[in-house]
């Protein structure tokens, strides 16, 4: 794709034709630190043992032993592609086949309802 030793076309022009920045040709990724790997390993262990833990609970578990904050746990969880198992949306919607019962005290006046504690 790129020819670094091409005499006909300089690297800058090749990068421009490919639509990438010239400086990105020289980028060397930095490997993760041992601390980051240790934190990710502990997150994975806790998540495997307790898949329902979210970032708040994992941060509370990991903070005393590793001094890690919740935003750090959230970033690592996002990077690892894991998330706490929680109920999905619309869990408060009633089932369509469920019968809806009328509120019987609505026919009473306000003063009568206070006598019944409603």
Q: List the one residue out of 50, 38, 48, 49 whose CA is nearest residue 76.
A: 38
pLDDT in tens, 30-87: 999 999 999 999 999 999 999 999 999 999 999 999 999 999 999 999 999 998 888 7
The predicted pLDDT at position 50 comes to 94
Backbone angles phi, psi at 19, to 5 degrees: 80, 25
CA–CA–CA angle 70, 76, 81 (5° rounding): 125
- What is the pTM for the complete model shown? 0.60
Neighbours of 113 (CB within 10 A): 13
Residue 26 has pLDDT above 60, yes or no: yes
């Amino acid at each position: 794709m790129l020819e670094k030793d091409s005499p006909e076309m300089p690297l800058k022009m090749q990068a421009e034709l490919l639509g990438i920045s010239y400086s990105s040709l020289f980028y060397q990724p930095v490997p993760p630190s041992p601390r980051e790997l240790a934190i990710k390993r502990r997150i994975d262990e806790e998540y495997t043992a307790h898949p329902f833990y979210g970032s708040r609970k994992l941060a509370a578990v990991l903070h005393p032993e590793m001094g890690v904050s919740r935003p750090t746990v959230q970033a690592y969880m996002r990077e690892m592609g894991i998330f706490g198992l929680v109920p999905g949306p619309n869990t408060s919607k009633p089932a369509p086949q469920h019968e809806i019962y009328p509120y019987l005290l609505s026919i009473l006046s306000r003063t009568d309802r206070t006598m019944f504690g409603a």
